[in-house]
Structure 1
């Protein structure tokens, strides 16, 4: 009896299977339903899972529909020179273009596109007059520098962007800070002595696109010492938009009955509207 049982166990052991026996095609099919971070974790299990994670058709589903445009414009390469996994990995890094004044990246979790425009790419009234504005270095900006307003009567900031976005709804923000940031003895400081005038009249924000969308809003600037994302408005890119969309945006407070000052203009931030409830910093 004992010999029979032993023989049966030996026979069964010949048909035992493990993760190494799962066909790569099956693994790749499963990957298509997972987020990129989950794929990367599973790829560490063994060689089969790692090889399956390299399949182009897996990462094709994670990339935005405009990824070929991004590779050419942002990475400066031909789309077919990179495998799809490498394309996704490189587009997830912050990539600067247009002389380093703009930065674009993909959200690693969902492959959604985000874009930032530095203050140096904006048209700011009086920016060349040191009596009104200065560019100051700071570690609190992804562009390492911000435009700081000391005092002015006519406040106006205007920007334009022409870019090919994947279809979807997008939100546009101005990233602003009341007070002058600095660092002392290794600690972040904020001087609010020059902050004034923003509680008298609201700032007017405007957004328009080449597809005929327009939106405007007004808001008082608030909370000195904090970086705030002021929502300008939303715009929609439709499925049939296979060409770049031109966007114009602005913020102004041109009531010349009083001066205003003590404001840092860092950048303009564009992200999918579904990200609006997220904490950006």
Structure 2
């Protein structure tokens, strides 16, 4: 056996070294390898050399990374004036990873850069808020701490109820819904000669520690989650988890209804900012 091994070793020296480099790998092979990576990793490998850069742009790679409902999203955004039809799949993926407004700017849709998961954000102006038109209790305030540049602020109310409803064609998977809230009113010191620094006015914050709010999520196919939660952490934006739901079919519209309530009229409550509702894959947040 020893002699055979020696023969093999000696014979292998008769062949010249191939000295293969990364640039010698065919683009088609590189593309197949890249399909097993997530989008940020693909973009990193694209910087290695020209071969990897060219391979990383192959449409079939990014077709696999796009969500199953991407054509539905394109159609929805096209109604808002976005021109996406002529883009390659890589450029399309990058475009959809931006925050894309629709429904008159009251909603935004985007893809998680790493997973391609679909996320939705609904502004306070896209929600149904009891008493929102009564300026004695509610008003909209401008702020750069919201993606929609304004939030709904309740100074005082007996009946607190925020509701919403949406129909959307989500990809198959598990999803979570959150309300983004803030105890206290943000005030710009710029108007008061303070150099633009923002402070939190806690003057109207009251009533939220007496009884919890009720968060509820229902879907059109009968799923329902209900939870009770005290609002806390004044002075900071908090995402309150309202519930989860499962999308079983990507080719059908999913109807979702959701509520945030504190309708015990034995006491008033106030000093709360309502920014938005986030719907996203459960693994996103």
For the criterion TM > 0.5, the same-fold answer is: yes
Q: Secondary structure at the match of 1:81?
A: coil
Kept after mapping to 2: 8 A contact 1:72/1:78: no
Question: Is residue 112 of structure 1 aligned with residue 121 of structure 2?
Answer: no
Q: Deviations over 1:87-145 (max 9, x none)?
A: 10110000000000001111111111111100001111110111011100111111110
Q: 1:228 is matched with which residue?
A: 238
Structure 2: runs of 5+ lacking an equivalent: 1-14, 190-194
* Structure 1 residue 72 displacement after superposition: 1.1
Structure 2 CA distance for partners of 1:241 and 1:35, relative to 1, 3 Å: closer
* Structure 1 residue 186 displacement after superposition: 2.4
Q: 1:63 is matched with which residue?
A: 66
In the alignment, the residues of structure 1 paired with residue 149 and residue 84 of structure 2 have an alpha-carbon distance, to the nearest angstrom, of 30
In the alignment, the residues of structure 1 paired with residue 221 and residue 117 of structure 2 have an alpha-carbon distance, to the nearest angstrom, of 21
Question: Is residue 186 of structure 1 aligned with residue 191 of structure 2?
Answer: no
In the alignment, the residues of structure 2 paired with residue 17 and residue 275 of structure 1 have an alpha-carbon distance, to the nearest angstrom, of 41
In the alignment, the residues of structure 2 paired with residue 84 and residue 241 of structure 1 have an alpha-carbon distance, to the nearest angstrom, of 20
- After TM superposition, the structure 1 = structure 2 runs for residues 22-171 of structure 1, keeping only pairs within 5 Å, are 22-76=25-79, 81-171=86-176
Question: Is residue 206 of structure 1 aligned with residue 209 of structure 2?
Answer: no
Runs of 4+ in 1 over 6 A off after TM superposition: none
Question: Is residue 260 of structure 1 aligned with residue 269 of structure 2?
Answer: yes
Structure 2 CA distance for partners of 1:144 and 1:30, relative to 1, 3 Å: same
Structure 1: runs of 5+ lacking an equivalent: 1-10, 277-281
Q: Secondary structure at the match of 1:57?
A: helix
Structure 2 length as normaliser, TM-score?
0.89
The CA RMSD measured in Å over matched residues stands at 1.6
Alignment length (residue pairs):
264
In the alignment, the residues of structure 2 paired with residue 179 and residue 98 of structure 1 have an alpha-carbon distance, to the nearest angstrom, of 29
Structure 1 length as normaliser, TM-score?
0.90
In the alignment, the residues of structure 1 paired with residue 250 and residue 50 of structure 2 have an alpha-carbon distance, to the nearest angstrom, of 41
Q: 2:11 is matched with which residue?
A: none
